[in-house]
Amino acid sequence: MAVLLTALVGTIGYVVLEGWNLSDALYMAVITLTTVGYREVNEMDAAGRVWTMLLAVAGVGIIFGTVGVVAEAVLADAASGRRERRYMHSQIEELRDHFIVCGYGRVGSMVARELVRDGFAVVVIDVRPESLVTAAEDGLLTVTGDGTSDAVLIQAGVTRARGLVTSIDSDANNVYVTLSARALNPDLFIVARAGAEGADLKLLQAGANRVVSPYTMAGRRIAELALRPRVVEFIDAAMSRGHLAFTMEEVEVRPGGPLDGQSVGALRARGVFTLAVVDEPGTYQANPSDDRVLAAGEHLIVTGAASQLRELSLEA
């Protein structure tokens, strides 16, 4: 704007002082401001030459000064990370049905890797710069801040997210994150990490759908490996995508969907085997008969070829 304004003033000056037409005056003003150094358009008197000198000095100061200011602003923007944060924010704004992981420690990083392996987008929230750098190096979107803050959760897209995993090493913070996330998105599926004994009840009361204690899980897994190692290895192989010719999946029967009113036998004919029907969390109908009719709201634990289960999930 400063350059354009100066060019306009210079043009008017040539029109007034030298009586030139608008085209010649504008041409002379531009070549003077840009210090190109072409010859004079027309012969000039003393007033015109003084005006040209003033315009040339103004052009050097304004144009090169503007370039310096813009360059300084660009470098400062890049050095401060604002540009990267804006780019990250724009990418997060486009996400739908993604997962948010609060706390990118040993547990959180493992959770994020498994979610990415299953094809989901993940946004990491953490206050520790080193954790955010690690998450960015792992190719994840990051938000700097405390997951207990509503503003930070909204920036991470909690209102559009499919689920949230809070794995902070503080039970109090996990409870607060759960409360905040549940208030912002009542339909969000929340999995929370519990450290101390009794924290699981508080997290469930705060609104978590599932609570996991890494220490309890580790102890249970060690015992299961000691008692029935092949069963555990088989289930792990089925749950890890691409390791075997089949996999296991959870499918919801949606009201009015293709699965609503179908029988277990109809799914078996397609090569999809129903291991259990879940009416509500913790209640399973294992190995249902072929004439068992599926109803809306039920969840199925099924196994079969990965491609078949993917098609089934898309239908549901």
**Same domain, yes or no, for 104 and 201?**
yes
Task: Identify the domain boundary among 47, 80, 113.
Answer: 80
The CATH code of the domain that includes 264 is 3.30.70.1450
Domain assignment present for 132: yes
**Same domain, yes or no, for 73 and 121?**
no
Taking the CA atoms of residue 205, residue 209, residue 213 and residue 219 in that order, the dihedral angle to the nearest 10 degrees is 130
Beta bridge partners of 303: 248, 273
**DSSP code of residue 122:** E
User: Which has more confidence, 307 or 189?
Assistant: 189
Domain assignment present for 184: yes
**Same domain, yes or no, for 107 and 27?**
no
**Does the pLDDT of residue 79 top 80, yes or no?**
no
Q: Is 302 helix (H, G, I), strand (E, B) or coil?
A: strand
- pLDDT reported for residue 117: 87
Domain assignment present for 88: no
The CATH code of the domain that includes 133 is 3.40.50.720
> Environment class of residue 146 by beta-carbon count within 10 Å: exposed (0-12), middle (13-18) or buried (19+)?
middle
The DSSP bridge pattern shows strands 299-305 and 246-252 to be antiparallel
The domain of 280 spans 229-315
Instruction: Please tell me which of 23-27, 96-100, 292-296, 302-306 the model is most confident about, judged by mean pLDDT.
Output: 96-100
Q: Is 170 helix (H, G, I), strand (E, B) or coil?
A: coil
Least confident of 33-37, 194-198, 217-221: 33-37
Beta bridge partners of 250: 301
Domain assignment present for 222: no
Which candidate, 117, 101, 111, places its Cα nearest to that of 165?
101
Beta bridge partners of 192: 166, 211
**Same domain, yes or no, for 22 and 127?**
no
- Core vs surface per residue 180-201: b (16+ CB within 10 A) or e: bbbeebeebebbbbbeeeebbe
Instruction: Give the model confidence (pLDDT) of 214-228 as tens digits.
Output: 888 888 889 988 999
Domain assignment present for 135: yes
- The amino acid present at 171, given as its one-letter code, is D
Whole-angstrom CA distances from 53 to 20, 50, 169, 264 are: 17, 5, 69, 91
Give residue 3's pLDDT band: very low, low, confident or very high (50, 70, 90).
Answer: confident
> Environment class of residue 52 by beta-carbon count within 10 Å: exposed (0-12), middle (13-18) or buried (19+)?
buried
User: What is the rounded CA–CA span in Å between residue 265 and residue 284?
Assistant: 18
Task: Identify the domain boundary among 217, 252, 286.
Answer: 217
**Same domain, yes or no, for 213 and 237?**
no
Give residue 102's pLDDT band: very low, low, confident or very high (50, 70, 90).
Answer: very high
Domain assignment present for 42: yes
Rounded to an integer, the average pLDDT of 150-159 is 96
Q: What's the token pair of residue 2?
A: 């400063």
Instruction: Give the model confidence (pLDDT) of 160-185 as tens digits.
Output: 999 999 999 899 999 999 999 999 99
**Same domain, yes or no, for 197 and 280?**
no
Domain assignment present for 87: no
**Same domain, yes or no, for 234 and 208?**
no
**Same domain, yes or no, for 198 and 127?**
yes
Q: How many Å is the Cα radius of gyration of the chain?
A: 33
**Same domain, yes or no, for 238 and 140?**
no
Q: Structural domain tally of the chain? A: 3
Give residue 316's pLDDT band: very low, low, confident or very high (50, 70, 90).
Answer: low
Helix, strand, coil % over all residues of the chain, rounded to 5: 55, 15, 30
User: What is the rounded CA–CA span in Å between residue 114 and residue 101?
Assistant: 12
Domain assignment present for 223: no
Task: Identify the domain boundary among 80, 103, 137.
Answer: 80
**Same domain, yes or no, for 51 and 149?**
no
**Same domain, yes or no, for 146 and 244?**
no
Which candidate, 312, 195, 305, places its Cα nearest to that of 257?
312
**Same domain, yes or no, for 211 and 244?**
no
Query: Strand ranges (DSSP E) for 189-235?
Result: 189-193, 210-212
The CATH code of the domain that includes 28 is 1.10.287.70
